[in-house]
């Protein structure tokens, strides 16, 4: 058995634990809706005290949080598989990948998978889940565009970011999208956003990460405002929780569905898509 990887409290790596645990929990609680064997396998490799998360996981709201994490991954997978229908050998690029294995979940046997994140995150990823065939891990800040040099988008490319654009300013998000449009014409970019209310609800999360530029961080109140960001791009959006799948699982309660409607409604949680 390989040695376990120690995760220190307060470290950057610890920020990966909650979404990872959420995917593991969702696969356990909502198995007819979502599967993710990699999440459980990676959790087993970590030297980390999960006892507090295990306690919180019994609450309805924590389980709804896990459901949110799962629906976001399913939405991203839908967009990737849809793009691969017409671009089967495309680059599938996970921007801000953490320990997520969405690229592998969508592997059609001919696409190329790229995972991009900060050097310490990629180092942990390499140790826990080394890159496989047709897979490349790139250690880079997303806002330093040199990482794009390593992506072969000659046969199409789909770029996706789960839980990442919240931490960008509008200037950073627009710059990234325009750079991708210039380098990878015909590509697709998919990311999740919230509205103004959603951003306020995330205030404690931002503070816990020491985000000093909270007021500048991106939120999207009206998708129409995005249409001028990238000249010639087609922009569309769907509800984050119910925009792609009906959440068919007997473990999904009436309260879960009510909260899902709030998320897609007043909180304006969306999956945004740019066709470049």
> Quick one: tokens of 78?
């839908």
> Quick one: tokens of 171?
């200037």
Please give the pLDDT value at position 6. Answer: 78
CB 125, CB 137: distance < 8 Å: yes
Q: How many Cα atoms occupy the beta-carbon half-sphere of 236 within 13 Å? A: 7
The helix (H) or strand (E) run that includes residue 136 is strand 135-139
Highest average pLDDT, of 57-61, 85-89, 165-169, comes from: 85-89
Question: What CA–CA distances, in Å, run from 142 to 42, 216, 233?
Answer: 24, 18, 21
Read off the pLDDT of residues 117-130 as tens digits, 9 standing for 90 and up.
999 889 888 888 88
Which residue would you say has higher pLDDT here, 226 or 166?
Answer: 226
Q: In terms of C-beta density within 10 A (0-12 exposed, 13-18 middle, 19 or more buried), how is residue 172 classed?
A: middle
DSSP state letter for 14? G
- Alpha-carbon distance of 178 to 59, in angstroms, equals 42
Read off the pLDDT of residues 59-83 as tens digits, 9 standing for 90 and up.
888 888 888 888 999 999 999 999 9
Beta bridge pairs of residue 232: none
Please give the pLDDT value at position 4. Answer: 78
> Quick one: tokens of 64?
């709804």
Q: What is the pTM of this model?
A: 0.91
Please give the pLDDT value at position 191. Answer: 97
- What is the band of 143 on the pLDDT scale with cuts at 50, 70, 90? very high
Other C-beta atoms within 10 Å of 62: how many?
Answer: 16
CB 138, CB 162: distance < 8 Å: no
Q: Is the pLDDT of residue 209 over 60?
A: no
Nearest Cα neighbor of 106 from 121, 128, 91, 124 is 91
Please give the pLDDT value at position 7. Answer: 76
Task: Look at the alpha carbons of 170, 226, 143, 217 in this order and tell me if their dihedral is positive or negative.
Answer: positive
> Quick one: tokens of 67?
């459901």
pLDDT averaged over every residue in the chain: 89
Catalogue all structural domains in the chain, each as residue range(s) with its CATH number.
80-275 (3.40.50.150)
Beta bridge pairs of residue 154: 156
Q: Is the pLDDT of residue 213 over 70?
A: no
CB 240, CB 263: distance < 8 Å: yes
């Amino acid at each position: 058995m390989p040695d376990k990887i120690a995760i220190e409290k307060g470290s950057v790596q610890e920020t990966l634990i909650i979404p990872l645990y959420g995917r593991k929990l969702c696969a356990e609680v909502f198995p007819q809706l979502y599967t993710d064997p990699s999440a459980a396998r990676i959790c087993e490799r970590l030297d980390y005290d999960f006892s507090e998360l295990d306690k919180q996981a019994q609450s309805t709201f924590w389980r709804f949080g896990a459901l949110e994490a799962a629906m976001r991954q399913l939405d991203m997978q839908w967009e990737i598989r849809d793009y691969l229908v017409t671009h089967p050998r495309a680059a599938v690029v996970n921007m801000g990948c953490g320990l997520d294995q969405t690229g592998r979940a969508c592997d059609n046997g001919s696409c190329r998978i790229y995972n991009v994140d900060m050097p310490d995150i990629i180092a942990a990823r390499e140790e826990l889940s080394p890159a496989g065939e047709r897979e490349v891990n790139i250690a880079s800040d997303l806002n330093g565009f040199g990482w794009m040099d390593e992506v072969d988008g000659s046969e199409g490319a789909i770029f996706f970011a789960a839980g990442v654009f919240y931490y960008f300013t509008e200037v950073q998000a627009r710059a990234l999208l325009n750079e991708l449009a210039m380098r990878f014409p015909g590509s697709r970019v998919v990311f999740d956003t919230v509205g103004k209310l959603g951003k306020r609800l995330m205030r404690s999360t931002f503070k816990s990460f020491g985000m000093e530029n909270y007021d500048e961080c991106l939120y999207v109140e009206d998708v129409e405002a995005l249409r001028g960001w990238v000249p010639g791009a087609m922009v569309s959006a769907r509800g984050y929780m119910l925009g792609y799948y009906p959440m068919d699982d007997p473990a999904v309660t009436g309260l879960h569905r009510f909260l899902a409607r709030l998320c897609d409604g007043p909180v304006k949680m969306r999956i945004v898509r740019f066709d470049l």
